[in-house]
Structure 1
Amino acid sequence: MPLPRLGTRSVRARTSPVAVAVLAGVLVLALGGALLAVLAGGGRHGRAAGDGPRRITVEVSPSRCGRGWTRPEPGVQTFDLHNTSNGAAEVYLEDPGTKEVFGEVEGIGPGTTRQLTVRLGTGTYAFACVPDDADAVTGPRVHVAGGRRGPGARPVTGHDLIPPALAYQRWVAGGLDDVVRLTTRLRSAIDDGDLAAARAAWLPAHLRYEQLGAAYDAFGDADARINGTDAGLPEGVRDKDFAGFHRIEYGLWHGEPAARLRAPAAALVKAAAGLRDGWAQTRMDPAQLGLRAHEILENTVQFELTGRTDYGSGSNLATARANLDGTRAVLSRLRPLLTARYAGLTGLDRDLGRARQLLDGFRHGARWTPLGDLTRAQRERTDAALGQLVERLASVATLCDPRRTA
């Protein structure tokens, strides 16, 4: 599952402007569509023109967090969150008793105003202001009478994510054992000069590695040696730094003799074994686990479904299927946290099953339909199925984004 890379994989900055906007706004999906979090500029106060929601200015600062909300009403409300402090802050609208979050906005800079639009029903609410470099502050409690209260999501803390992260790391360790065993088989076939056997051994080894999708950031430079592409390399596929699975793939499906592939195959086994042997000392960041669950298929759509990583084997759909398995492996560890927080979990499971069935239909024994052989209808169904999953998994990333509670 290729992450964006120039010669190697590189995880996109988690705090890029686009990522912040998506993660802060996608809570509407995570809570089953019952609330709407919108990020925009400031605006008028009071009732908006036409039938728009009521606008209320709320102060964001350590000393006056949540001040300004004096006439609570049920229904859709738009809050202009104005940061009067000298530092950036996050803001949550929560139930102060249960700590369930009904809306959030990240990265409100000093002196700026951002919007939060939510649908409120009977219950008690309060704004929590979380400055970057100070303790969290909870504002005045506000009671809303009337209307149906939408679902909230209890925050996930870094501590909550430690057990699933450790469980996932143990699973990856077993996967790396398999990768070493399968790449050794691939190398043996190349050493013997049996290129037909090497082509048959290449795909199982590559797919096993692709299933370990949420760990790539922790793999560091080893990933470029194992699964890098020629992107950004001056000489392209002829560059001396083009290595790993895709280097061997290019040679096997472009008529290179075994003698030219022995060194790349030996280097692949060495890189895989080194990664496996050092894995016990590696520590994945638990806070990244939910985001990685989203990125696996996001990058599948970007790289596999566009054919950008095909070096001759025509196995992009097989890789997409392996990435789907990798996503399920992450979600199975996160499930105890998601069950009580994600109203769309049943729908996500359903869509994962449909995508798996769809991709399995392109497998014919040991052979997979090349991406270029899909009909237009097949291509559209595949793109739609994976695209829908990417949208749903953005909610998982949001819900598993650790939030400060103090």
Structure 2
Amino acid sequence: MTPSRTLTAVASVGLVAFALAGCVAKTDAAASGALTVSSTDSACDVSAATAKSGTLTFDVTNQSSDVSEFYLLADDGLRIVGEVENIAPGASRTLTVVAQPGDYYTLCKPGMVGEGVGKASFAVSGEKVAATGDDAEQKQKAVDLYAAFVKDQVEQLVPAVDSFVAAYESGDDDAAEAQFPTTRAFYERIEPVAESLGDLDPRIDYREVDAVAEGLEWTGFHRIEKDLWVPAQDALNSDGVTPAWQNWQPSTPAERAAYGDQLIADVAELNDYVHSDAFTEALDAQGIGGVSNGAIGLLDEVATGKISGEEDWWSGTDLWDFAANVEGSEMAFSLVRDFASSSGSEGAALVKQIQTGYDDLDASLAQHGSLESGFVNYRELTEADKREFTDLINALAEPLSKLTSTILA
């Protein structure tokens, strides 16, 4: 299952994210007036596909059989400009955003899981509008948009894991292998959220060597990975020392069912959490610094695991994880970059340096594939390729580490 909302490039990240999210604009409401949206089980019908820039209002009526959501997405299909959730069957909710000129997508998500239905282009014309509102309000909008992004990724992760596990448990290893890296991309974009939840990330994403070192039962993606890419009898584990077959045998059908069902349950727990008051309260408590630290944390994930090829030791699909971590990091950065830019000339220079770092890293990754078309196996990289990635990550990590302090200064 290939993610439909991948970040081919974070174009126009200079677009002020919080301005798009509903602050009061210095302009009259868009001349087209309120747009109506009908969310059904299979469609997302918007009354118009174009509008003038300024304050837009979407009156969303849920005519589906399940609770639904409505999204206005940016042109990359990943960034969320605005969303309303928890619309009960038969109920209506309103989304108000300040939309700048550009290309967008509208989308409904009945059931609040999966990729959604009725994704359609939506164009905004006219002049760029300014946004007002106090600093605290604008920063809260950025936090809210990051929360919406996390929830969307987990909502897409749920059915992707269901499909992946169904193939694994049925013994359709070819299908499971194909879905393994693309399913994990949803998780990798928001991994620090799961890592904050005690043993949930270890259950979902620990490597064998980590589980053994901490005395934990080894479950999750990488336990399944080893079943799908059975190591040779003389292979070593990712620690480079332990024989891969030591204390391990391929899973029986009953064991596959147990591991698969556990992964589904753990991802369901993650989905419950990101839709809970506890998640909202945790993000609000961290504030804009939490979003910035999310960008930093995801790049750290690349530096500590993916760049070494130790994450997906058996499958060699580390570049999928690598790219998804970078996407998630860049997404978080796009929401806070304007706060750093507005802090003075040093902040503006820092933002330019960080953006250049992302651009260079994206370009280097693109030489080896993409999340849509697939990447080369990590074992096909040369030492020169790995050194290039390491140098680019280090070049980005240094200015990125200053982002949070710049924003909060």
Identical-residue share of aligned pairs (%): 20
For each residue in 1:128-152, what CA deviation from the matched residue of structure 2 results, as whole angstroms up to 9, or x when unmatched?
xxxxxxxxxxxxxxxxxxxxxxxxx
The CA deviation at 1:161 is 4.2
Q: Give the structure 1 partner of residue 229 of structure 2.
A: 253
Question: 1:165 and 2:165 equivalent?
Answer: no
The correspondence of residues 80-91 of structure 1 with structure 2, limited to 5 A, is none
Max Rg structure: 1
Question: 1:268 and 2:263 equivalent?
Answer: yes
Question: 1:184 and 2:162 equivalent?
Answer: yes
State the SS of the aligned residue for 2:314. Answer: coil
The correspondence of residues 293-308 of structure 1 with structure 2, limited to 5 A, is 293-308=295-310
Q: 2:335 aligns with which of 333, 336, 347?
A: 333
Cα 1:180–1:376, aligned 2, differ >3 Å: closer, same or farther?
A: same
Contact 1:190–1:258 (Cα < 8 Å) also in 2: no
State the SS of the aligned residue for 1:233. Answer: helix
Distance between the aligned counterparts of 2:259 and 2:325, measured in 1?
24
Q: Give the structure 1 partner of residue 360 of structure 2.
A: 354
Segments of structure 2 that go 5 or more residues without pairing to the other structure are: 1-133, 232-249
State the SS of the aligned residue for 2:316. Answer: coil
For each residue in 1:355-375, what CA deviation from the matched residue of structure 2 results, as whole angstroms up to 9, or x when unmatched?
112112212775432333222
Q: 2:392 aligns with which of 370, 385, 390?
A: 385
The CA deviation at 1:158 is 7.8
For each residue in 1:134-192, what CA deviation from the matched residue of structure 2 results, as whole angstroms up to 9, or x when unmatched?
xxxxxxxxxxxxxxxxxxxxxx9987643322211111111101111100001111232
Distance between the aligned counterparts of 2:213 and 2:402, measured in 1?
40
State the SS of the aligned residue for 2:149. Answer: helix
Q: Give the structure 2 partner of residue 316 of structure 1.
A: 318
Distance between the aligned counterparts of 1:352 and 1:235, measured in 2?
34
TM-score (norm 2): 0.55
State the SS of the aligned residue for 2:402. Answer: helix
Distance between the aligned counterparts of 1:166 and 1:220, measured in 2?
23
The CA deviation at 1:306 is 1.4
The residue type paired with residue 224 of structure 2 is: I
Cα 1:233–1:191, aligned 2, differ >3 Å: closer, same or farther?
A: closer
Contact 2:212–2:218 (Cα < 8 Å) also in 1: no
The residue type paired with residue 387 of structure 2 is: E
The residue type paired with residue 397 of structure 2 is: V
State the SS of the aligned residue for 2:401. Answer: helix
The CA deviation at 1:212 is 1.0
Distance between the aligned counterparts of 1:379 and 1:217, measured in 2?
26
Cα 1:214–1:340, aligned 2, differ >3 Å: closer, same or farther?
A: farther
Cα 1:280–1:272, aligned 2, differ >3 Å: closer, same or farther?
A: same
Distance between the aligned counterparts of 1:218 and 1:335, measured in 2?
24
The residue type paired with residue 328 of structure 2 is: G
The CA deviation at 1:398 is 2.3
The CA deviation at 1:196 is 0.7
State the SS of the aligned residue for 2:217. Answer: coil
TM-score (norm 1): 0.55
Segments of structure 1 that go 5 or more residues without pairing to the other structure are: 1-155
The CA deviation at 1:310 is 2.5
The CA deviation at 1:269 is 0.9
Cα 1:334–1:214, aligned 2, differ >3 Å: closer, same or farther?
A: farther
Q: Give the structure 2 partner of residue 207 of structure 1.
A: 185
Contact 1:214–1:330 (Cα < 8 Å) also in 2: no
Distance between the aligned counterparts of 1:233 and 1:358, measured in 2?
32
The residue type paired with residue 376 of structure 1 is: E
The correspondence of residues 66-215 of structure 1 with structure 2, limited to 5 A, is 161-215=139-193
Contact 2:202–2:211 (Cα < 8 Å) also in 1: no
Q: Give the structure 1 partner of residue 294 of structure 2.
A: 292
Contact 1:193–1:258 (Cα < 8 Å) also in 2: no
The residue type paired with residue 402 of structure 2 is: S
State the SS of the aligned residue for 1:313. Answer: coil
Q: Give the structure 2 partner of residue 279 of structure 1.
A: 274
Distance between the aligned counterparts of 1:215 and 1:301, measured in 2?
18
The CA deviation at 1:272 is 0.6
Between 302-311 and 365-374, the greater mean CA deviation after superposition: 365-374
Question: 1:227 and 2:220 equivalent?
Answer: no
State the SS of the aligned residue for 2:207. Answer: coil
For each residue in 1:211-233, what CA deviation from the matched residue of structure 2 results, as whole angstroms up to 9, or x when unmatched?
11442444443222211223443
Distance between the aligned counterparts of 1:235 and 1:376, measured in 2?
29
Distance between the aligned counterparts of 2:317 and 2:404, measured in 1?
28
Higher RCO structure, 1 or 2 (CA under 8 Å, sep 6+): 1
Contact 2:146–2:332 (Cα < 8 Å) also in 1: yes
Contact 2:207–2:222 (Cα < 8 Å) also in 1: yes
State the SS of the aligned residue for 1:344. Answer: helix
Distance between the aligned counterparts of 1:389 and 1:297, measured in 2?
9
